[in-house]
């Protein structure tokens, strides 16, 4: 089972069906004597109707549902907290089956920033619980690395967001989103005793178009440190039978794992690549990003050149502006040189304050001056100007604050994580510190 090495409990449980590709499911159905079109029906339930229980799959036989239940799980994420209004950036804190918390961020399109129509949505997803790379400005790794997400836990972030939207609008389109594994019971009214041999329903007749149009793999964790599980999840989300999100609408971010960038370049997918650069010299980058000591800029740039040459895709540099660290005028020229060398776009992101860290956001005037200086160097650049300090937007910050709130003072538990209540901004504690508008770590 993917992502379970070294954890006997996770090895003992049934695998989640959303961690498997269509050919793997078709092969299993062939072993069971089931026709291939049954796999199409099953996949339509998983990724079009976003089902969370076998009993919802009313065009599958009861015998097939029982067999699926014997061999596989269907797990869903539980919404613990949500911050942000519907028409603005929204952060979702999810609890997984083992109790671990992860974050996703839903970002409405900004035509200036993303070039998309205003009804488009980008989802920023997590790939790990915590992070081992220890970027000095980031909340994700403050409590260390816990584990990799499995493919279905990455995929489920998209499904859970879309179930939430359907529930908010009264559209159905899936289960209620209750946590845990949904099994089959003898009195379930769903699966038919015998399913008629009909072709799978056409996806266009099942649900409204997807809420999520674009994916950015920039949430908690270092995506390329969970390489195998990430690529399998993205294959599912990209496939026409799965998420049906185009590869060119998917951006993978990395803090600079040069060998994995080279490996990604040799994959058949045309994903976009974003580099969490945050410093244009080894001196600055090593100060705030320990990964630079293992893969300094020369190694990183060479790997990016390989990716550019193999894919012919525009690269993006994510550059968090941190006051007094990387926002000085003398940082502009080396950054511009790197951008021109790789034909990269620079996305400037004002720092989101993290409680317990001393870093600060530059003033608006400094941000605008840095952008203007880059543009004078003939570099394509954007500055994230959205308002949004009402949410804990720095990667991992809402998770960290919630876990500490659950633990209570001096590490003594005040209440179990099962006592958390999903809700809007009013559920924040008065002492929590406001943060920025979108993922930037």
Could you list the active site residues? 103, 395
Radius of gyration of the chain (CA): 22
* Burial 405-422, CB ≥16 within 10 A → b, else e: ebeeeeeeeeeebeebeb
And the tokens for 395?
């990667």
DSSP helix/strand/coil, 311:
helix
**DSSP codes joined into one string, 74-124:** -EEPEEEEEES-TTS-EEEEEE-TTS-EEEEEEEE--HHHH---TT-EEEE
Please state the separation of Cα 339 from the chain's center in Å: 26
Burial class (CB in 10 A: 0-12, 13-18, 19+), 254: buried
Rounded to whole angstroms, the Cα distance separating 347 from 111 reads 14
Instruction: Report phi then psi at 173, rounded to 5.
Output: 80, 35
Contact 309, 286 (CB under 8 A): no
DSSP helix/strand/coil, 319:
strand
Contact 157, 77 (CB under 8 A): yes
């Amino acid at each position: 089972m993917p992502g379970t090495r070294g954890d006997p409990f996770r090895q003992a449980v049934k695998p989640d069906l959303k961690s498997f590709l269509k050919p793997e499911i078709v092969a299993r159905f062939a072993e069971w004597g089931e026709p291939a079109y049954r796999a199409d029906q099953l996949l339509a339930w998983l990724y079009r109707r976003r089902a969370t229980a076998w009993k919802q799959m009313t065009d599958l036989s009861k015998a097939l549902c029982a067999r699926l239940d014997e061999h596989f799980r269907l797990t869903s994420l539980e919404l613990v907290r949500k911050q942000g209004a519907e028409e603005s950036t929204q952060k979702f804190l999810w609890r997984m089956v083992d109790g671990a918390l992860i974050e996703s961020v839903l970002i409405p399109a900004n035509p200036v920033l993303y070039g998309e129509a205003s009804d488009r949505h980008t989802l920023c997803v997590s790939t790990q619980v915590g992070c081992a790379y220890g970027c000095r400005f980031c909340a994700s790794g403050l409590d260390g690395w816990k584990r990799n997400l499995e493919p279905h836990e990455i995929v489920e972030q998209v499904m859970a967001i879309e179930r939430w939207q359907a529930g908010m609008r009264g559209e159905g389109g899936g289960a209620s989103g209750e946590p845990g594994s949904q099994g089959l019971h003898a009195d379930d009214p769903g699966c038919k005793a015998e399913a008629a041999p009909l072709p799978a329903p056409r996806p266009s007749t099942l649900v409204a178009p997807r809420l999520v149009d674009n994916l950015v793999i920039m949430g908690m964790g270092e995506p390329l440190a969970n390489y195998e599980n990430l690529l399998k999840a993205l294959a599912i989300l990209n496939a026409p039978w799965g998420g049906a999100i185009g590869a060119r609408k998917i951006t993978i971010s990395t803090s600079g794992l040069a060998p994995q960038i080279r490996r990604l370049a040799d994959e058949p997918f045309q994903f976009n690549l974003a580099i969490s650069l945050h410093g244009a010299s080894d001196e600055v980058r090593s100060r705030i990003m320990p990964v630079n000591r293992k893969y300094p800029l020369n190694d990183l740039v060479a790997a990016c050149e390989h990716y550019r040459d193999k894919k012919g895709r525009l690269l993006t540099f994510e550059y968090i502006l941190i006051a007094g660290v990387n926002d000085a005028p003398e940082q502009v020229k080396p950054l511009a040189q790197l951008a021109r060398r790789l034909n990269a776009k620079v996305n400037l992101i004002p720092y989101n304050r993290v409680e317990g860290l001393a870093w600060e956001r530059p003033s608006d005037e400094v941000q605008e001056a840095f952008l203007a200086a880059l543009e004078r160097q003939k570099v394509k650049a954007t500055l994230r100007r959205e308002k949004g300090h009402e949410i804990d937007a720095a990667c991992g910050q809402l998770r960290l604050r919630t876990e500490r709130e659950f633990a209570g003072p001096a590490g003594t538990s005040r209440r179990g994580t099962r006592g958390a209540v999903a809700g809007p901004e009013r559920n924040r504690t008065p002492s929590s510190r406001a943060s920025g508008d979108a993922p930037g770590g």
